């Protein structure tokens, strides 16, 4: 039985200071002649967009299964050492120190991984994707439930928590620029670990939090935050992926193949049994299963697919200038960093379909599957008399899934539409004569 992950509580430091962080966490894969080979995998248990290469993969034991089969053929003993971190930065520090062989992280940290690896003589390669959102909906800016901040413009001069160098920080920078706010001078930015930022928001010491999956959804589910900005407004893909030390990939190509095969199996499991997968991840991480499903469900914000899709790589190239402006990287040769050959070699199964349009979903208590509906109104109507565990509706503008009871609702004639943020609802109302914002309770009443 796989062990529970041990959460690394290392405080998030500026990425340039993380390079010396090479604490003993077990050796990387042993030499070719060794009878025992230890593979060290760095992952982020609570960054649930990476679960097919981390939390879920570990709990299912698929990588260990693949390695056991390899050991029966070559007579070696293979062991997996799982190292859990809160962000991608310390994983990169350990990889550049030769302490971690395979790691998973978001698109911005992946670029820093590429830059640091090359700089320190431990080059890395991007070999697969875990989960993605083609519009950028995995990152969200949230405020406290009672906050008077109604739009990004209201953040001018206020304190905002984020993790510098993360995709969530990239979303914040881009969003502020679109709103006409200098991301360096227009706000007071606090560089904090996600958990620290979440505590700061709930404690009232910051005005907003810009973070990646699953923090915004978790806080919203718990009634501790409301969405201010949907990252999907940027309409730019964001994703998490798997990076490997180049030296390891060359010396242990077969082991890397095993990892990618195991990742594909975990992806199959998640796509076929999304509720069971969400329950498993929740048990391993302590996150609410309802919040996990918001991102990892059948119509969740994240789409899981290992393929290195061209649109994702194109988006990665657009991230480089953001990190350069923050002086976190210089030039990054994305084309040489991306290596599709291992995935092509390791997996021979048909490609998954591209992400489709999200639908409303209802998760009833005691059920191991969900019901889908063609419209939010039909979902609301089905709530009458039901024992509801969670209800999800897509934003009418961006398609980002959100909790029905946390969404902003608009009545437009006999129709009912849901939105992640007040600004989305305002935009719709301004474009549709007679449309009006209504409470969730009124929306349920109108639907029935």
Backbone angles phi, psi at 126, to 5 degrees: -90, 120
| Sheet with 401-403, side-by-side order of all strands | 371-373, 360-364, 388-394, 401-403
pLDDT at site 33: 52
pLDDT per position as a tens digit, 76-124: 999 999 999 999 999 999 999 999 999 999 999 999 999 999 999 999 9
Average confidence (pLDDT) over 140-163: 96
pLDDT of residue 156: 97
Q: Is the pLDDT of residue 248 over 70?
A: yes
The per-residue pLDDT for 354 is: 85
| 408 membership: H or E segment, kind and range | strand 408-412
Q: Mean pLDDT across the stretch 276-285?
A: 98
Signed CA dihedral, 345, 351, 355, 358: sign only: negative
pLDDT at residue 16 above 60?
Answer: no
Burial of 288 (0-12, 13-18, 19+ CB in 10 A): middle
pLDDT at 18: 40
Task: Find the mean pLDDT for residues 227-246.
Answer: 98
* CB contact burial 181-217 (16+ within 10 A = b; e otherwise): bebeebbebbbbbbbbbbbbbbeeebbbbbbbbbbbb
211-232 pLDDT per residue, tens: 999 999 999 999 999 999 999 9
In the prediction, which pLDDT does 3 show?
A: 43
Residue 59, SS3 per DSSP: helix
**pLDDT over 90 (residue 319):** yes
Instruction: Say what the pLDDT of residue 29 is.
Output: 54
pLDDT of residue 371: 97
Query: pTM, whole model, 2 decimals?
Result: 0.91
pLDDT of residue 349: 84
pLDDT category at 350 given cuts 50, 70, 90 is: confident
User: What is the DSSP code string of 181-221?
Assistant: --TTTSSEEEE--HHHHHHHHHHTSSSEEEEETTHHHHHHH
Q: How much is the pLDDT for 28?
A: 53
Confidence class of residue 8 from pLDDT cuts 50, 70 and 90?
Answer: very low
pLDDT, mean of residues 332-341: 97
Cα–Cα distance measured from residue 330 to residue 16, given in angstroms and rounded to the nearest whole number: 12
Q: What percent of the chain has pLDDT over 70?
A: 93
Residue 22 has pLDDT above 50, yes or no: no
- pLDDT tens figures, 403-433: 999 999 999 999 999 999 999 999 999 999 9
Mean pLDDT of 189-202: 97
The pLDDT value recorded for residue 356 is: 85
Predicted confidence at residue 138, as pLDDT, reads: 97
Question: Is residue 130 a contact partner of residue 104, using CB atoms and an 8 Å limit?
Answer: yes
Arithmetic mean of pLDDT over the chain: 93
Residue 21 reports pLDDT greater than 90: no
pLDDT of residue 355: 86
Answer whether residue 267 shows pLDDT above 90: yes
Give whole-number Cα distances, 198 to 208, 271, 404, in Å.
9, 29, 22
At 205, the pLDDT band (50, 70, 90 cuts) reads very high
| Residues β-bridged to residue 323 | none
């Amino acid at each position: 039985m796989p062990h529970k992950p041990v959460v690394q509580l290392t405080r998030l430091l500026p990425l340039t200071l993380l390079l010396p962080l090479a604490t003993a966490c077990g050796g990387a894969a042993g030499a070719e002649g060794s009878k025992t080979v230890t593979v060290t995998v760095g992952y982020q248990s609570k960054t649930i967009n990476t679960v097919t290469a981390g939390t879920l993969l570990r709990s299912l034991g698929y990588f260990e299964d693949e390695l056991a089969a390899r050991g029966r053929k070559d007579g070696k003993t293979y062991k997996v050492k799982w190292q859990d971190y809160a962000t991608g930065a310390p994983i990169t520090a350990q990889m550049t120190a030769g302490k971690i062989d395979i790691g998973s992280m978001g698109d911005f940290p992946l670029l820093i991984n590429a830059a640091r690896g090359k700089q320190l003589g431990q080059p890395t390669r991007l070999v697969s994707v875990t989960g993605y959102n083609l519009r950028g909906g995995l990152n969200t800016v949230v405020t406290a439930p009672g906050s008077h901040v109604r739009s990004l413009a209201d953040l001018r001069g206020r304190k905002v928590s984020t993790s510098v160098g993360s995709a969530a920080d990239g979303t914040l920078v881009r969003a502020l620029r679109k709103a006409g706010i200098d991301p360096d001078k227009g706000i007071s930015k606090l560089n904090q670990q996600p958990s620290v930022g979440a505590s700061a928001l709930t404690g009232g010491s910051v005005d907003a939090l810009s973070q990646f999956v699953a923090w915004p959804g978790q806080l919203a589910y718990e009634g501790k935050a409301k969405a201010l900005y949907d990252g999907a407004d940027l309409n730019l893909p964001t994703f998490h992926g798997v990076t490997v030390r180049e030296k390891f990939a060359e010396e242990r190509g077969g082991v890397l193949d095993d990892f990618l095969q195991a990742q594909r199996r975990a992806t199959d499991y998640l796509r076929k049994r999304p509720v069971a997968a969400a329950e498993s991840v929740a048990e391993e991480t302590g996150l609410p299963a309802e919040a996990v499903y918001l991102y990892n469900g059948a119509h969740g914000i994240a789409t899981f697919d290992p393929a290195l899709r061209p649109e994702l790589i194109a988006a990665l190239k657009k991230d480089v200038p953001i990190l350069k402006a923050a002086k976190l990287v210089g030039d990054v040769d994305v084309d040489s960093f991306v290596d599709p050959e291992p995935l092509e070699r390791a997996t021979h199964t048909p490609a998954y379909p591209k992400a489709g349009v999200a639908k409303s979903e209802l998760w009833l208590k005691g059920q191991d599957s969900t019901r889908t509906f063609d419209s939010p109104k039909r979902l609301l109507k089905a709530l009458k008399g039901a024992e509801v565990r969670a209800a999800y509706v897509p934003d009418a503008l961006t398609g980002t899934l959100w909790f029905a009871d946390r969404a902003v609702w608009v009545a437009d004639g006999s129709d009912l539409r849901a939105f992640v943020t007040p600004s989305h609802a305002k935009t719709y109302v301004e474009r549709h004569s007679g449309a009006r914002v209504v409470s969730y309770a009124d929306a349920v009443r109108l639907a029935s």
